[in-house]
């Protein structure tokens, strides 16, 4: 007798057939997710005190991780929209991968902030029942809702044609594709409610027509880009509105956030694109190599702009009485090592040279290393930005301090691990692989 579970497991193993590096990679991610689950359980059992955020620094690593992930999502959406909104056909090669990553970056970002809240269950109820339109946080929730919805539809429209084509595969991949293509759901709906058959038929016809599909892809891509940019501007405003935190406050903060989002988006595409091929043991197509080199050059340019922005922010901060204390924390204080070594050297300056050199030589590992450095530096930057800015002002000159607990690190590791695991499995079971240009007319 064949157990259905065994059958599925066999199908899973058959579909996951790949290089040994792939299994190592997946095992590491599964371990991270398991440890993250343990940390989550601890936080539920032992209250939020298992996290090291304190009364004086109440926004800590969960918030910085949230800002990092949703910034990554907006950045990925920006990269994908180069192909589907602005009509650069070569960018459609990485469109599916970027949009898929954007969907899960925002979902895991939201998970991060939900775990940070004291009562996440109330958030959904009271943001609707008693909204406060003066609060950036309320706007952020609403706009991110619209962003997630349009992003999910965009992703589904991009994948649908390949999902339908792969639906007949015998293994697990076929089952997933059949389920995600919504064909079965549509036919069931048609059977249950015969009156809806007309609408379903019309919808199916529209989705099967290439011209109609391209049109709707462009519409949802535009909606996602607009809502994504608006949402991240509002996210930046959430910090920028706080007059009591001098380092956050000011109209340039949302613009810095957008710049950071662009850096992250490009870096994620480069890292995931190159590493996926390496893990599979395949060579990148020539077109994709050209595109990655072009993106690496853009990334280097943006890093230069980000470097100038940081010089301006720090230089200007030194002459503003309330900001100067926080700026000195970065320049010579307890955050100086992280600031100079990780943010500036590793996250900004070094990658410029690495990326430019590697793109000239078409060295994909070099580009990947440069992009990983940018991501690590940006993650650190968000951590420093959120935590260090809360040190001033303080009462009675007791400088509050914060270092994440082991449990907190495990939870963040679990969230990032789950994000990468879903991407890895998505890459394995969904048609994310680059196959040349789409028609975006």
Partner 1 sequence: MNHPVKRMDRRRFLKIAASAPALAALDSIGIADADPIRYGKMVDTVRCIGCKRCMSACKRWNGLKVERDELVTDRNTSLSGNNWVVVNYLIDRRNRTHKNYGHWACQHCIEPACAGVCPVRAITKMPEGPVVVNEKKCIGCRYCYQACPYKIPQFDFVKRVTRKCTMCYDRTPLLNYMKPACVAACPVGALHFGYKQDVIREARRRTRDRGGRFYIMGLEEAGGTDMITILPTVPEDLGLVVAPRKVVNQNMDKIRITGAGFMGASALAGLMYLYAGLTRGRNRKGHDEPDDQTS
Within 168-227, the residues that bind partner 1 by CB under 8 A are 225
Q: Of 42-50, 266-274, 338-346, 350-358, which part binds partner 1 (CB under 8 A)?
A: 42-50
Nearer to partner 1, 90 or 278 (CB): 90
Please, what is the minimum distance in Å from the beta carbon of residue 31 to partner 1? Answer: 29
Alpha-carbon gap, residue 192 to 341, rounded angstroms: 62
What is the 8-class DSSP label of residue 333?
S
What distance lies between CA 401 and its chain's CA centroid?
A: 28
Please, what is the minimum distance in Å from the beta carbon of residue 197 to partner 1? Answer: 28
Is residue 122 close enough to count as binding partner 1 by CB under 8 A? yes
Nearer to partner 1, 155 or 346 (CB): 155
- Residue ranges in 287-326 that form contacts with partner 1 under rule CB under 8 A: 287, 290, 294
What CA–CA distances, in Å, run from 165 to 7, 56, 173, 430? 23, 55, 11, 11
- Residue ranges in 372-391 that form contacts with partner 1 under rule CB under 8 A: 390
Tokens of 217: 């892809």
Residue among 5, 119, 194, 337 that touches partner 1 (CB under 8 A): 119
- CB burial of 360-381 (b: ≥16 within 10 Å; e: otherwise) equals eeebbebbbbbbbbbbbbbbbb
Nearer to partner 1, 381 or 428 (CB): 428
Nearer to partner 1, 315 or 436 (CB): 436
Nearer to partner 1, 2 or 397 (CB): 397
Residues 319-358 vs partner 1: string with x where CB under 8 A?
Answer: ----------------------------------------
- Residue ranges in 241-270 that form contacts with partner 1 under rule CB under 8 A: 241-245, 250-255, 257-258, 262
Residue among 77, 98, 234, 346 that touches partner 1 (CB under 8 A): 234
Please, what is the minimum distance in Å from the beta carbon of residue 364 to partner 1? Answer: 18
Is residue 143 close enough to count as binding partner 1 by CB under 8 A? no
Residue among 103, 136, 207, 303 that touches partner 1 (CB under 8 A): 136
Q: Of 97-105, 232-240, 276-284, 376-384, which part binds partner 1 (CB under 8 A)?
A: 232-240
Is residue 118 close enough to count as binding partner 1 by CB under 8 A? yes
Alpha-carbon gap, residue 314 to 394, rounded angstroms: 21
Taking alpha carbons only, the member of 100, 78, 82, 68 closest to residue 228 is: 78
Taking alpha carbons only, the member of 271, 371, 273, 252 closest to residue 320 is: 252
- How many beta carbons lie within 10 A of that of residue 13, not counting itself? 11
- CB burial of 95-129 (b: ≥16 within 10 Å; e: otherwise) equals bbbbbbbbbbbbbbbbbbbebbeeeeeeeeeebee
Nearer to partner 1, 90 or 197 (CB): 90
Please, what is the minimum distance in Å from the beta carbon of residue 209 to partner 1? Answer: 14
Nearer to partner 1, 173 or 381 (CB): 173
Alpha-carbon gap, residue 378 to 12, rounded angstroms: 35
Residues 75-94 vs partner 1: string with x where CB under 8 A?
Answer: ---x--xx---xxxxx----
Phi, psi (5° rounding) for residue 247?
-75, -25
Taking alpha carbons only, the member of 380, 418, 388 closest to residue 39 is: 418
DSSP letter string, 269-299: HHHHHHHHHHHHT-PPPHHHHHHHHHHHHHH
Please, what is the minimum distance in Å from the beta carbon of residue 310 to partner 1? Answer: 16
Alpha-carbon gap, residue 67 to 202, rounded angstroms: 41
Is residue 138 close enough to count as binding partner 1 by CB under 8 A? yes
């Amino acid at each position: 007798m064949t157990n259905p579970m065994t059958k599925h497991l066999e199908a899973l193993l058959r579909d996951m057939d790949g290089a040994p590096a792939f299994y190592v990679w997946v095992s590491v991610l599964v371990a991270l997710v398991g440890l993250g689950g343990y940390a989550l359980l601890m936080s539920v059992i032992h209250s939020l005190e298992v996290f090291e955020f304190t009364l004086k620094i109440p926004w800590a690593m969960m918030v910085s991780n949230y800002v990092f992930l949703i910034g990554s999502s907006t950045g990925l959406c920006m990269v994908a929209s180069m192909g589907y909104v602005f009509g650069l056909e070569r960018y459609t090669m990485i469109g599916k991968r970027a949009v898929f990553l954007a969907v899960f970056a925002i979902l895991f970002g939201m998970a991060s902030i939900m775990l940070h809240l004291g009562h996440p269950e109330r958030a959904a109820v009271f943001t609707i029942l008693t909204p406060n339109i003066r609060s950036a946080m309320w706007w952020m929730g609403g706009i991110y809702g619209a962003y997630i919805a349009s992003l999910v539809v965009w992703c589904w429209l991009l994948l649908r044609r390949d999902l339908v084509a792969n639906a007949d595969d015998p293994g697990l991949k076929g089952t997933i594709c059949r389920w995600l293509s919504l064909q079965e759901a549509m036919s069931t709906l048609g059977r249950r409610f015969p009156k809806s058959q007309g609408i379903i038929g019309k919808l199916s016809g529209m989705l099967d027509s290439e011209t109609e599909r391209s049109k709707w892809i462009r519409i949802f891509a535009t909606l996602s880009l607009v809502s994504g940019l608006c949402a991240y501007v509002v996210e930046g405003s959430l910090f920028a509105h706080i007059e009591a935190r001098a380092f956050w406050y000011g109209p340039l903060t949302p613009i810095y956030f957008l710049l950071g989002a662009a850096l992250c988006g490009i870096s994620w595409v480069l890292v995931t694109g190159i590493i996926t091929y390496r893990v599979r043991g395949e060579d990148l197509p020539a077109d994709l190599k050209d595109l990655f080199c072009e993106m690496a050059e853009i990334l280097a340019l943006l890093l230069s702009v980000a470097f100038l922005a940081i010089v301006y922010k720090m230089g200007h901060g030194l002459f503003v009485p309330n900001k100067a204390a926080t700026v000195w924390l970065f320049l010579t204080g307890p955050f100086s090592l992280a600031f100079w070594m990780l943010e500036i050297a590793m996250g900004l300056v070094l990658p410029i040279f690495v990326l430019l050199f590697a793109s000239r030589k078409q060295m994909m590992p070099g580009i990947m290393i440069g992009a990983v450095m940018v991501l690590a530096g940006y993650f650190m930057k968000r951590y420093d930005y959120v935590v260090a800015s809360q040190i001033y002002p303080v009462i009675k000159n007791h400088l509050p301090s914060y270092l994440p607990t082991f449990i907190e690190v495990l939870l963040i590791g679990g969230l990032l691990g789950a994000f990468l695991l879903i991407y890895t499995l998505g890459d394995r079971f969904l048609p994310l692989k680059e196959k040349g240009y789409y028609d975006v007319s």
